[in-house]
Amino acid sequence: MSSRTGGSGRTTPSDAEIVPSGRGTSPRWVSGPAIEACGLYKIYRETEVETVALRGAELVLEAGSWTTLMGPSGSGKSTLVHILAGLLEPSGGSVMMDGRDLTRLSVPDRARERRRRIGLVMQRDNLHPLLDVAGNISLPLRLDGRPPGEVRQRVDELLAQVGLAERRHHRAGQLSGGENQRAAIALAVAPRPRLLLTDEPTGELDEATAARILDLLAELRDEGTALLTVTHNPQVADRADRRLEMRDGEVHDAG
């Protein structure tokens, strides 16, 4: 059986109020479940072959918590993350966020919710290739209507934190793998999302740079964001509040 983790109550709109963060007008999310996945199934069908990627997976991520997800290749980790992000539709089950089931929304509405509430860092293709680093980081803030002064301040702050101040005018194709990864993290955390999903966020970074990035993620957690980090790195897992493991499409506590 899969293990249900976190709180059991579903979030209502009133639970998801935005309160001042102490940094300009940026939001800080209050306590309570940020997202709740219930009984998720995902079945891939190709001709006569059927592959079950998720088998009733359940997961609750609380605001202001950091959870790591480990497990072997093919256990369902990427499928789960893509469903939580609204990029993939499950074959069954629900994903509740602030009183709404993301699986029942239209594709445009899911994209809107993702832009407003979810930060996502995958292992590749995170940056818009036609924008420079500063333009990528500022994009979600500008789309959200943030004041220009706040946008500039947030971009400058993040460029310094991830060590890319000297690369602000470079595009993705002009960056190394590690620089692309750091820029992608800055982009994802810029709007201080309700939920941050990351897949091996320090995989291409040296030890010192990885520590800076993990400090940035911890800061976001302390501001109220719920973090789910897919990793095989025990040092990353040690920074989190909770460890989970995926086995055969189910989520289990890992101690």
Q: Kindly report, residue by residue over 207-235, the tens digit of the pLDDT.
A: 999 999 999 999 999 999 999 999 999 88
Confidence at residue 30, expressed as pLDDT on a 0 to 100 scale: 66
Please write the tens of the pLDDT for every residue from 67-94. 999 999 889 999 999 999 999 999 999 9
Q: How far apart are CA 32 and CA 18, in angstroms?
A: 12
Secondary structure, 3-state, the chain: CCCCCCCCCCCCHHHHCEEECCCCCCEEECCCEEEEEEEEEEEEEECCEEEEEEEEEEEEEECCCEEEEECCCCCCHHHHHHHHCCCCCCCEEEEEECCEEHHHCCHHHHHHHHHHHEEEECCCCCCCCCCEHHHHHHHHHHHCCCCHHHHHHHHHHHHHHCCCHHHCCCEHHHCCHHHHHHHHHHHHHCCCCCEEEEECCCCCCCHHHHHHHHHHHHHHHHCCCEEEEECCCHHHHHHCCEEEEEECCEEEECC
pLDDT at 2 over 60: no
Query: What is the number of structural domains in the chain?
Result: 1
Residue 203 lies in a domain: yes
Please write the tens of the pLDDT for every residue from 14-58. 334 433 333 444 445 667 899 999 999 999 988 788 999 999 999
Please write the tens of the pLDDT for every residue from 115-144. 889 999 988 778 999 999 999 999 999 998
Residue 210 lies in a domain: yes
Cβ atoms of 158 and 188 within 8 Å: the answer is no
Residue 149 lies in a domain: no
Q: Going by C-beta distance under 8 Å and a sequence separation of 6 or more, which residues neighbour residue 77?
A: 69, 71, 199, 230, 246
For β-strands 118-121 and 195-199, DSSP reports them as parallel
The residue among 208, 162, 151 whose CA lies nearest residue 184 is 162
Residue 143 lies in a domain: no
Q: How far apart are CA 86 and CA 107, in angstroms?
A: 8
Domain with 239, as residue range(s), is 13-125+193-253
pLDDT at 3 over 50: no
Q: What is the CATH number of the domain that holds 96?
A: 3.40.50.300
Predicted TM-score (pTM) of this structure: 0.85
Confidence at residue 18, expressed as pLDDT on a 0 to 100 scale: 36
Taking residues 154-170, what's their average pLDDT? 96
CA distances from 243 to 40, 234, 235 (A): 19, 10, 12
Cβ atoms of 7 and 15 within 8 Å: the answer is no
Residue 140 lies in a domain: no
CA distances from 192 to 53, 137, 238 (A): 30, 12, 23
